Structure 1
Amino acid sequence: MPRKGAAFAGLSVALVTPFKNGEVDYDLLRKQVEFQVDAGTNCLCPVGTTGESPTLSHDEHEKVISVVVETARGRCKVMPGTGSNSTREALRLTKWAAKEGADAALVVAPYYNKPTQEGFFQHYKALAEEVSIPICVYNIPGRTGKNIEPETIARMADLPNITMVKEATGSLDQASQILATTDLTILSGDDSLTLPLLSVGGEGVISVVGNIVPKDMLALLAAFRENRAADATQLHHKLFYLCRDMLGLATNPIPLKAAMKLLGRDTGELRLPMTELEPAGEAKLRKSLAAYGLL
């Protein structure tokens, strides 16, 4: 039997939010969507961590969702970030995404206020019972300050519309436990752990580096799916250092936006408190892009 959420297997890309002179550049956002559609990306995830959602106003957050859904026009799925540390706010955003035609919602664990495991469960229960589109639980304790334990996710799996987990704990043991105890689809939240996660039963990735090289990540996923282990491993090794630099030189999306600027695909502009990549980091990034063959 296919897992719940299997329709979202493959490559999802966590889209950047382009800015120009301090404002969201919706024309460039539409171009980013077209770039991904042309590459064959399965799903787009705007207004997440990579999309700098914490610095967007409520109106901007909603408009980015609407523009991405409208531009995609059903050519690929759209799963926008609709999470918040306020259940009421997360519900409002998720309802907006559903109304605008999003295919699913990516809901990060409530952050900063560090709820109990029961609080996590009740948060997602409130959303699952009010909204009809599938929900992907985004578990990233390095950002939120607290892990959603596998036992709690197993409870969530019985809720209507909870169908996926974006697994960004860095723990294959946690992913394995979820896969062994639920029928949820697991998507990697760490580019460099995509192949290891696939090996224990994961079915895709919500990718940062896919903003730059979606076709290579698609090739890795295809190689694994087609049982071409050597090809998948080779692509994993090729992507590894690029993934490391996209996420290791500074906080995401600082290096990614710097790379996209170097490649002529973004202004590189960020919103405070995000600041530009320092010169030493940019030099390393240039070297990494050149070694990959992008510069």
Structure 2
Amino acid sequence: MTTTHPASAPTPPLGRALCAVITPFTPSGALDLDGAARLADHLVREGCDGLVLNGTTGESPTTTDTEKSELVRAVRDTVGDRARLVAGVGTADTRHTTELALAAQKAGADAVLVVAPYYSRPPQDAVEAHFRTVADTCELPVVLYDIPARTGTRIETDTLLRLAEHPRITAVKDCSYDLLGVQKLLARTGLAVYAGCDEHNLALYAVGGAGCIS
């Protein structure tokens, strides 16, 4: 099987190399916005196309909603238009997720990353409704995050195929290790699929993946 990324292939809207960014804190536990700005500038200068803020790598379960917005604003002010900013907004609560998505939009994010609802292991129709509600409410592109080993909930391929019909659902961060499912998505939808596990980067890219979130 040959790659679908010839040298002339256009770069996906969010780029190819995206970094899941840590969130710096001061010794007292406060958000270190100056440190976050310096880190973001460094990552962009080193070649990152996009930065993923407020993901689990960035301590999102332990930061407040206000801190999440402050972080996006500080990084946006620093990097300007040099990189795309993807804000993690996923929770197990649809209402809270939509509130975070709207706040990220207001703070200057370019897209939002929404993980599958976790712990309660909802059925696929509820998973689909969760994502559609966020995409209907927020005006930003939505990146779906499929990481069943952490959430306990798989976003099934057929669910992803239906969600791909929504005009604002544009990408998937894939940690499912289901390469056949990814190939099906790439063949039948316009979704950009990003590897979310480093050891999967090459295999996913070889079948047409957009890049990685590392």
Query: TM-score normalized by structure 1?
Result: 0.67
Structure 1 runs of 4+ aligned residues shifted over 3 Å read none
Q: CA deviation at 1:24?
A: 1.7
The aligned amino acid for 2:118 is Y
Matched, 1:49 2:56: yes
Percent identity between the aligned chains?
37
1:130 equivalent among 130, 137, 148: 137
CA contact (8 A) 2:70 2:107 kept: no
Cross-structure match for 1:150? 157
Alpha-carbon distance between aligned partners in 1 of 2:37 and 2:194, rounded to the nearest angstrom:
25
Shift of 1:127: 1.1
Distance in 1 separating the partners of 2:167 and 2:87: 19
Letter of the 2:19 counterpart: V
**Shift in Å, 1:23:** 1.7
Residue in 2 that maps onto 1:12 = 18
- Is 1:97 matched with 2:104? yes
CA positional deviation for 1:6: 2.3
- After TM superposition, list the pairs within 5 Å mapping 1:1-295 onto structure 2: 6-21=12-27, 22-207=29-214
What is the one-letter code of the residue matched to 1:77?
R
C-alpha distance in 2 between matches for 1:204 and 1:45: 14
Q: Deviations over 1:200-219 (max 9, x none)?
A: 11010001xxxxxxxxxxxx
Give 1:52 shift. 1.1
Distance 2:72 2:113 in 1: 12
Give distance in 1, aligned partners of 2:162 and 2:151: 20
Distance 1:174 1:54 in 2: 29
The offset of 1:152, in angstroms, is 0.1
Kindly provide the amino acid, as one letter, of the partner of residue 138 in structure 1.
Y
Q: Which has the higher strand share?
A: 2
Q: How far, CA to CA, are the matches of 1:87 and 1:200 in structure 2? A: 33
Instruction: Indicate conservation of the 8 Å contact 1:42/1:77, yes or no.
Output: yes
Give the Cα–Cα distance (whole angstroms) in 1 for the partners of residues 185 and 56 of structure 2.
23
8 Å CA contact 2:69–2:107 kept in 1: the answer is no
1:39 Cα shift? 1.1
Name the aligned partner's letter for residue 22 of structure 2: V
In structure 1, how many angstroms separate the alpha carbons of the residues matched to 2:181 and 2:54? Answer: 26
SS class of match (1:20): coil
Query: Which consecutive unaligned segments of at least 5 residues does structure 2 have?
Result: none
- SS where residue 72 of structure 2 aligns? helix
Report how far residue 183 of structure 1 moved.
1.4
| Offset at residue 180 of structure 1 (A) | 2.2
Deviation at 1:151, TM superposition (A): 0.2
**Deviation digits for residues 76-96 of structure 1, max 9, x if unmatched?**
110110111111111011111
Unpaired runs of 5+ residues, structure 1, are 208-295
Q: Distance in 2 between matches of 1:108 and 1:62?
A: 18
Kindly tell me the number of residue pairs found equivalent between the two proteins.
Answer: 205
Aligned-partner Cα distance in 1 for 2:181–2:77:
36
Amino acid at match of 1:9: G
Q: Secondary structure at the match of 1:79?
A: strand
User: Residues 37-59 of structure 1, C-alpha deviation per residue, up to 9 Å, x if partnerless?
Assistant: 21121000011011010011222
Instruction: Report the alpha carbon displacement of residue 177 of structure 1 after superposing the two structures with TM.
Output: 2.1
Structure with greater helix percent: 1
Contact conserved, 2:72 with 2:108, CA < 8 A, in 1?
A: no
Contact 1:136 1:166 in 2 (8 A): yes
Q: Distance in 2 between matches of 1:147 and 1:66?
A: 32
Instruction: Tell me by how many angstroms 1:160 deviates.
Output: 2.3
What is the CA–CA distance in structure 2 between the aligned matches of 1:29 and 1:47, rounded to whole Å? 11
| CA RMSD, 1 decimal | 1.6
Which one-letter code corresponds to 2:53 in the other structure? P
Between Structure 1 and Structure 2, whose CA radius of gyration is higher?
A: 1
Query: Is 1:9–1:187's contact at 8 Å kept on the other side of the alignment?
Result: no
